[in-house]
């Protein structure tokens, strides 16, 4: 019963956050930052399944974001797909690739898994950079509009693009979080978490370890892909940076900083690391020093991530 | 809903109070925005650009501003990531409410930012090279550097004059280099140039001898062209000398700074490249219209920063001065009026050349803006 | 033939640098199970500090030695301030800490130094040696020679000295080493100092060839990490072989196949090797404890 309650708390917290935050927005710029938080939040929600539940690491998930983003850029151009279908196409493609690549890769452990996923991410970003005739090369390419705004205008609703994307990405994040939270309480979720605690113990009690790891990998790839698609369609522009190593690292950092074990923690991590660079602009040249320090300090003193560590701290006080 | 409205109003009041309390300058200031790649792979370009803008803003405010109104520069570092550039562009427009924006160090960040300014109707002067920024013409978008297509044309013209037609290409894999490589490939036929080899290297590669060996072994090779910036071209030049390749080496305008000669050392002897007059300020003829401008900027920059001047800082200088003159002519800080006056820029003498903009041309430079330079005895020599 | 030899020269020079970075990863990993993603920053610190001390008037040799000492001190500080307080944290947490450290060090470098490219003169001039039609720079020989000295020196240290044996014992089983009286805290500090110094040596040796700037660390850390994993994490010999292998694969791919996919080739080979040998070429087979 306890986890059921936690699920509802998480969803409620997200709904309140999404609905109330705009009251404090002085300008459309804040809607954009909010949207970026939700899109990053969606990607790390997927990583919660992989890192938090299944205990596997990936340093290459930006590769899947890249696939999702470029699906939206290339789908309408070369395959004649409407933008929304391109998003689905990208997600299916990412899931399929994750399924193919995941089978051999997930046999590796710890740092070996890290380097293999790293290699995968680099291969994707290299293809996107080098196949310039298809992808526009390192300078990137334009992406077709999703058409949401035009559709709304037809039924008589006029809304500015930043606000529309804020509400839209907020809804997608809610849906994504709801799915993962349901998964958590399902037999699959329990099997996954048993992996995290001890793979050997899980195997002994009859859990098909390889299958569940692969499931987690595919789920997280689809989330990263959809997040990439959303980002590309909001920016109406995409460049290979989205698939780069730094973006992969950023995704893992967001997940772990907030707390990889819970959706709320990971989304908090995503929000903080999205907003931080905007706040740090006041430090000008010292931006990187402060960012590096914050990452180190949080991880040293709040090892399980911000949200779980703080929750524990307050929990202890109450008792 | 009434409760919500009063809540909103309270928040708004608090926000206004917070802003006025934090000592933000008076509304009368002219706010100019910039998003540059001060860090990341293009920091080599973005760093001098940022330093130039800061220097010029200080300079102009000391002189009393533009028509008595101080200029406020709001500068962000996008790290070369287009997504960050897009966010900062939104911030400049929506939050900082600037009247014009300079920047986009790279073509990628520029292209990501353009839709924001087009929609918000804010004039935007890019510092990136690629031709796609101003072709086709976009109403609110301008640029100051020469295009990569012009650099290819200038280089091919020089090669043709020396009877060199079979050319090997070695380019970096970054945006600047890839874009220039494409332009050079497309333009080759027009000048009767044949590209006989086409190799590339990564942005942080340590050794290019394999690629150069391959190029060197190409039958009939008469010259090598290296579109690139940063350390790549310096390493290519050193490897070129190490392999003792006996054909002329051409670099691009991407290495147009004194530090290239320092980094490449003796190996740089005989290398040719197209560059703006800024690099050879002292060697310009006294009658040259650009002489006073480039000497002035160079001296000011080197005094302010203690670093040698580079073409890239020059692009920022041109952009800022074009903007200031446009604001003066417009007589107001209305973005639309500023845009119209930028488009009306005629006979502006900058570091890149003489700029004549029009409704059809949002860059306003021609090939004469480039000088062909050769490195002799560790210094630039004008060869055309 | 001369073509192949030229590619080998290129691959070995670059590979020797990767090997030194990989060795740095290995030493720290052995002592503490931490994969230190800020390893590349030590190479940067070695090169940049030498450049600036040399420019300030110090002779090159003195500047280089001082730079290595400073890097070692930074390594010790990293261990004491960031790694020791986080002892027993999970693998991912430690990775994020070291990535944070690398961002921090890069941030400091761009302020203390600058964002320009730098180089100092080669140790023995720039006149290349010609061997069977292929050329190699004297500085490349310095790099290869320097790497060899470091590896031999470490081999002697680990096999001949008591302290070295204590490090090896800690690597094998920290608890057991502690029980027989090894000061494992000291071993960890020593390992960080050693690995930072090795990184800085690589930076000093290679700067005349590859130039240096505040942000060269990321790429080197990536390649060094990959090389260490290819060879088998935890095995110094594996680091050597892995580094040279990655360097040679890159050079051969650039020379014979496609220069735009040379980095890809290195990672494809790494993936292929890991599929067959999940612990790298010379890695220990890991034992899962329940």
From the list A111, A256, A289, the residue facing C107 with the nearest CB is A289
* Nearest CB to B213; choose among C3, C118, C219: C3
- At B20 the pLDDT is 43
Mutation for B interface: A33, A241, A245, A274, most B CBs within 10 A? A241
Interface with C, mutate which of B45, B203, B213, B217 (most C CBs under 10 A): B213
Residues of C in contact with A105 (CB under 8 A): 271
With CB atoms and an 8 Å threshold, state whether A292 touches C105: yes
Q: What is the mean pLDDT of residues C254-262?
A: 88
What's the gap in Å between the CA of B90 and the closest CA on chain A?
A: 6
Q: Tell me what percent of the residues of chain C surpass a pLDDT of 90.
A: 65
**B91 near A CB under 8 A:** yes
Q: Are C219 and B242 inside 8 Å of each other by CB? A: no
Tell me the mean pLDDT in the region C177-186.
88
Residue stretches of chain A with pLDDT short of 70: 1-4, 316-319
Quick check: B319 pLDDT over 80? yes
Chain A partners of B119 at a C-beta cutoff of 8 Å?
A: 161
Q: Which residues contact C88 (CB under 8 A, 6 or more apart)?
A: none
Contacts of B319 (CB under 8 A, 6+ apart): B102, B125, B127, B142, B144
Q: For residue A130, is the peptide bond before it cis, meaning its omega torsion is within 30 degrees of 0? A: no
What is the distance in angstroms between the Cα of A88 and the nearest Cα belonging to chain C?
Answer: 28
- Asked if residue C167 has pLDDT above 90, the reply is no
Q: Answer yes or no: do A140 and B82 touch at CB < 8 A.
A: yes
Question: Using one digit for the tens of pLDDT, what is the confidence trace for A36-51?
Answer: 999 999 999 999 999 9
Residue contacts between A and C (CB atoms, under 8 Å): 133
Q: What pLDDT is attached to residue A2? A: 52
All partners of chain C with 3 or more CB pairs under 8 angstroms = A, B
CA-based nearest distance C260→chain A, Å: 7
Of residues C116, C135, C262, nearest to B243 (C-beta): C135
- Determine the Cα–Cα distance for residues B308 and B281; give it in Å rounded to an integer: 12
pLDDT tens-digit profile of C128-145?
999 988 999 999 999 999
- Measured between beta carbons, which residues in chain C are less than 8 angstroms from residue B43? 115, 215
CB contact under 8 A, B94 and A28: yes
pLDDT tens-digit readout, C14-53: 999 999 999 999 999 988 888 999 999 999 999 999 999 9
Separation CA C216–CA C209 (nearest Å):
13
Q: Would you call A146 helix, strand, or coil by DSSP?
A: coil
**Cα(A258)–Cα(B380) distance, integer angstroms:** 55
pLDDT digits (tens, 9 = 90+) for C46-102: 999 999 999 999 999 999 999 999 999 999 999 999 999 988 888 888 888 999 999
Whole-angstrom distance, CA of residue A225 vs CA of residue A70:
10
User: What was the pLDDT predicted at A158?
Assistant: 82
What pLDDT band is residue B190 in, cutting at 50, 70 and 90? very high
Q: Is B10 on the interface with C (CB under 8 A)?
A: no
State yes or no: pLDDT of B22 exceeds 80.
Answer: no
Using CB atoms within 10 Å of the CB of residue C161, give its burial: 0 to 12 exposed, 13 to 18 middle, 19+ buried: exposed
- Of B380, B195, B189, B167, which Cα lies nearest the Cα of B280? B380
Q: What pLDDT, in 10s, does the model give residues B203-219?
A: 888 899 999 999 999 99
- Chain B, nearest residue to A243 by Cα: B81
- Which among C2, C1, B83 is positioned nearest to A35, based on CA atoms? B83
Domain over C1-274 is classified CATH 1.10.3470:
yes
Considering only CA atoms, which of B98, B127, B111 is closest in space to residue B36?
A: B127
Domain segments of chain B: what residues?
3-146+288-365, 148-275
Provide the shortest C-alpha distance from residue A146 to chain C (in Å).
33
Q: How many Cβ atoms sit within 10 Å of the Cβ of residue A230? A: 27
Measured in whole angstroms, the distance separating CA C219 from the mean position of its chain's CA atoms is 12
Q: Report helix, strand or coil for B69.
A: strand
Query: Where does the pLDDT of residue B28 fall: very low under 50, low under 70, confident under 90, or very high at 90 and above?
Result: low
Is some CB atom of chain A closer than 8 A to the CB atom of B3? no
The full set of domain ranges for chain C reads: 1-274
**Counting one residue from A and one from B, how many pairs have CB atoms under 8 Å apart?**
83
Alpha-carbon gap, residue B324 to B341, rounded angstroms: 10
Mean pLDDT rounded to a whole number for chain B: 89
**Angle ∠(C285,C288,C290) on CA atoms, nearest 5:** 165
Model pLDDT, residue A317:
54
Q: Which residues contact B39 (CB under 8 A, 6 or more apart)?
A: A288, B46, B77, B79, B80, C110, C115, C215
pLDDT score of B29 = 87
Selecting from B90, B115, B179 the residue whose C-beta is nearest the C-beta of A139 gives B179
- Give the model's pLDDT for residue A51: 92
What does DSSP assign to residue B250? E
Q: Among all residues of chain B, which has the CA nearest to that of C135?
A: B243
Torsion of CA B308, B314, B315, B316, to 10 degrees: 90
* Upper half-sphere CA count for residue B171 (Cβ side, 13 Å): 24
Q: What is the pLDDT of residues B336-384, one digit of tens each?
A: 999 999 999 999 999 988 999 999 999 999 887 788 999 999 999 999 7
| Pick from B8, B173, B179: CB nearest A129 | B173
List all residues of chain C from 41 to 100 with a beta carbon under 8 Å from chain A: 82, 85-86, 89-93, 95-97, 99-100
Chain A residues bordering chain B (beta-carbon distance below 8 Å): 23-24, 26-30, 32-33, 36, 129-130, 132, 137-140, 142, 161-162, 231, 235-237, 239, 241-242, 277-278, 281, 284, 287-288
* Beta strands, E only, chain C: 129-131, 134-136
Specify whether domain B148-275 bears CATH 3.30.1330.10: no
Kindly identify which residue of chain C lies nearest to residue B266, measuring between CA atoms.
C126
pLDDT at C174: 82
Q: What is the rounded CA–CA span in Å between residue A56 and residue A71?
A: 26
Q: In Å, how far is B95's CA from the nearest CA of chain A?
A: 6
**Which residue in C92, C220, C230, C282 has the most chain A C-beta atoms within 10 A of its own C-beta, making it the best mutation to test that interface?**
C92
Can you tell me the distance from the alpha carbon of B318 to that of B143, in angstroms, rounded to the nearest whole number? 9
pLDDT above 80 for B175:
yes
pLDDT for the residue B261: 92
More confident residue, A132 or B116: B116
Q: Do B83 and A241 touch (CB under 8 A)?
A: yes
Taking CB atoms and an 8 Å limit, are A111 and C233 in contact across chains? yes
- Tell me the shortest Cα–Cα distance from B11 to chain A, in angstroms: 7
Q: Give tens-digit pLDDT for B273-315.
A: 998 888 888 888 888 889 999 999 999 999 999 888 888 999 9
Question: Residue B10 pLDDT > 70, yes or no?
Answer: no
Whether B94 has its CB under 8 Å from any CB of chain A: the answer is yes
8 Å CB contact of B259 and C116 = yes
Rounded-to-integer distance, Cα C277 and Cα C105, Å: 35
- Whole-number pLDDT of residue C223: 92
**Helix count (H) and strand count (E) of chain A?**
15, 2
Sign of the CA dihedral with B219 first, then B225, B228, and B229 last: positive
In angstroms, the CA B306 to CA B308 distance is: 7
As a whole number of angstroms, the distance between CA B341 and CA B127 comes to 19
Residues of B within 8 A of C128 (CB-CB) are 242, 244
Cβ-Cβ pairs closer than 8 A, B with C, add up to 97
pLDDT computed for residue B211 by the predictor: 94
As a CATH number, domain B3-146+288-365 is 3.40.50.2300
Considering only CB atoms, which chain B residues are within 8 Å of A145?
none
The structure tokens listed for A88 are: 């689905």
Contact A312, C98 (CB under 8 A): no
Q: Enumerate the β-bridge partners of residue B172.
A: B201
Query: Which residues in B lie closer than 8 A to residue C116 (C-beta atoms)?
Result: 44, 47, 259, 307
Q: B88 pLDDT exceeds 90?
A: yes
Query: Can you give the pLDDT at residue B2?
Result: 45
B213 touching chain A per CB within 8 A? no
What residue in A sits closest to C99 (Cα-Cα)?
A: A292
Residues of chain A in contact with residue C232, where contact means CB-CB under 8 angstroms, are none
Domains B3-146+288-365 and B148-275 share a fold: yes
Average pLDDT across chain A, whole number: 89
Q: What's the predicted TM-score (pTM) here?
A: 0.90
């Amino acid at each position: 019963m306890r986890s059921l309650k936690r699920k509802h708390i998480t969803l409620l917290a997200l709904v309140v956050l999404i609905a109330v935050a705009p009251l404090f927005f002085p300008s459309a710029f804040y809607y954009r930052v909010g949207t970026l938080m939700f899109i990053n939040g969606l990607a790390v929600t997927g990583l919660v399944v992989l890192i938090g539940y299944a205990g596997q690491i990936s340093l290459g998930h930006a590769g899947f974001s890249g696939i999702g983003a470029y699906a939206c850029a290339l789908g309408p151009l070369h395959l004649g797909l409407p933008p929304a279908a391109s998003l689905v196409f990208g997600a299916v493609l990412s899931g399929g690739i994750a399924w193919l690549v995941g089978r051999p890769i997930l046999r590796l452990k710890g740092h070996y898994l890290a380097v293999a996923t790293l290699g995968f991410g680099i291969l994707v970003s290299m293809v996107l950079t080098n196949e310039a005739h298809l992808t526009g090369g390192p300078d990137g390419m334009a992406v077709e509009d999703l058409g949401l705004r035009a559709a709304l205008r037809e039924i008589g609703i006029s809304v500015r693009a930043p606000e529309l994307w804020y509400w839209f990405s907020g809804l997608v994040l809610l849906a994504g979080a709801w799915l993962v939270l349901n998964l958590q309480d399902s037999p699959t979720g329990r099997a996954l978490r048993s992996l995290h605690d001890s793979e050997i113990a899980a195997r002994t009690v009859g859990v098909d370890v390889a299958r569940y790891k692969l499931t987690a990998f595919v789920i997280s790839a689809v989330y990263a892909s959809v997040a990439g698609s959303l980002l590309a369609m909001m920016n109406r522009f995409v460049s290979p940076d989205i698939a780069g190593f730094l973006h992969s690292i950023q995704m893992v950092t967001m997940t772990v900083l907030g707390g990889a074990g819970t959706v709320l923690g990971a989304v908090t991590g995503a929000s903080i690391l999205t907003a931080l660079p905007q706040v740090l602009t006041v430090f000008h040249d010292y931006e990187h020093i402060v960012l590096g320090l914050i990452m180190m300090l949080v991880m040293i003193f709040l090892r399980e991530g911000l949200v779980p560590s703080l929750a524990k701290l307050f929990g202890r006080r109450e008792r | 809903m009434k409760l919500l409205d009063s809540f909103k109003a309270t928040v708004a009041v608090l926000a206004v109070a917070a802003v006025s309390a934090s000592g933000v300058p008076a509304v009368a200031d002219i706010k100019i925005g910039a998003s540059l790649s001060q860090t990341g792979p293009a920091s080599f370009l973005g760093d001098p650009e940022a330093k130039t803008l800061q220097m010029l803003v200080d300079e102009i405010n000391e002189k009393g501003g533009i028509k008595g109104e101080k200029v406020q520069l709001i500068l962000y570092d996008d790290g070369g990531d287009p997504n960050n550039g897009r966010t900062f562009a939104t911030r400049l427009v929506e939050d900082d409410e600037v009247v014009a924006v300079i920047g986009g160090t790279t073509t990628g960040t520029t292209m990501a930012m353009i839709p924001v300014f087009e929609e918000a109707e804010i004039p935007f002067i890019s510092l990136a090279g690629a031709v796609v920024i101003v072709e086709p013409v976009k109403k609110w978008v301008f640029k100051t550097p020469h295009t990569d297509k012009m650099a290819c044309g200038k280089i091919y013209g020089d090669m043709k004059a020396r009877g060199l037609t079979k050319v090997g290409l070695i380019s970096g894999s970054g945006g600047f280099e890839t874009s220039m490589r494409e332009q050079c490939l497309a333009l080759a036929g027009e000048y009767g140039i044949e590209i006989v080899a086409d190799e590339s290297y990564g942005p942080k590669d340590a050794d290019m001898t394999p690629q150069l060996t391959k190029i060197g072994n190409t039958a009939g090779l008469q010259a090598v062209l290296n579109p690139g910036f940063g350390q790549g071209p310096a390493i290519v030049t050193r490897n070129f000398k190490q392999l003792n390749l006996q054909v002329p080496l051409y670099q691009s305008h991407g290495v147009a700074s004194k530090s290239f000669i320092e980094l490449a050392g003796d190996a740089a002897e005989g290398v040719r490249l197209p560059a703006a007059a800024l690099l050879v300020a002292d060697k310009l003829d006294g009658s040259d219209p650009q002489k006073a401008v480039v000497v002035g900027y160079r001296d000011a920059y080197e005094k302010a920063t203690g670093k040698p001047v580079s073409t890239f800082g020059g692009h920022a200088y041109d952009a800022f001065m074009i903007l200031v003159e446009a604001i003066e002519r417009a007589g107001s800080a209305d973005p639309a009026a500023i845009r119209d006056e930028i488009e009306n820029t005629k006979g502006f003498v900058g570091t890149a050349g003489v700029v004549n903009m029009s409704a059809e041309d949002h860059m306003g430079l021609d090939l004469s803006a480039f000088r062909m330079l050769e490195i002799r005895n560790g210094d630039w020599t004008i060869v055309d | 033939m001369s073509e192949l030899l030229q590619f080998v020269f290129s691959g070995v020079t670059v590979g020797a640098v990767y090997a030194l970075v990989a060795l740095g990863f290995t030493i720290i990993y052995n002592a503490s199970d931490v994969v230190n993603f800020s390893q590349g920053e030590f190479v940067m610190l070695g090169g940049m500090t030498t450049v600036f001390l040399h420019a300030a008037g110090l002779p090159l040799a003195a500047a280089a030695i001082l730079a290595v000492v400073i890097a070692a001190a930074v390594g010790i500080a990293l261990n004491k301030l960031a790694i020791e307080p986080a002892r027993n944290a999970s693998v991912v947490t430690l990775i994020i800490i070291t990535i944070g450290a690398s961002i921090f060090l890069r941030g400091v470098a761009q302020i203390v130094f600058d964002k320009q490219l730098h180089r100092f003169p080669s140790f023995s001039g720039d006149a290349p040696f010609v061997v069977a039609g292929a050329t190699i720079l004297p500085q490349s020989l310095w790099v290869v020679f320097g790497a060899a000295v470091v590896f031999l020196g470490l081999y002697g240290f680990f096999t001949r000295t008591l302290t070295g044996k204590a490090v090896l014992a800690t690597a094998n089983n920290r608890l057991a080493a502690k029980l027989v009286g090894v000061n494992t805290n000291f071993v960890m500090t020593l390992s960080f100092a050693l690995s930072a110094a090795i990184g800085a040596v690589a930076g000093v040796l290679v700067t005349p060839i590859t130039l240096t700037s505040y942000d060269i660390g990321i790429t080197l850390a990536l390649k060094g990490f990959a090389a260490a994993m290819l060879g088998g994490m935890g095995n110094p010999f594996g680091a050597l072989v892995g580094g040279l292998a990655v360097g040679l694969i890159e050079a051969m791919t650039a020379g014979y196949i496609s220069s735009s996919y040379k980095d890809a080739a290195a990672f494809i080979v790494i993936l292929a090797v890991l599929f067959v040998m999940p612990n790298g070429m010379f890695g220990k087979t890991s034992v899962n404890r329940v």
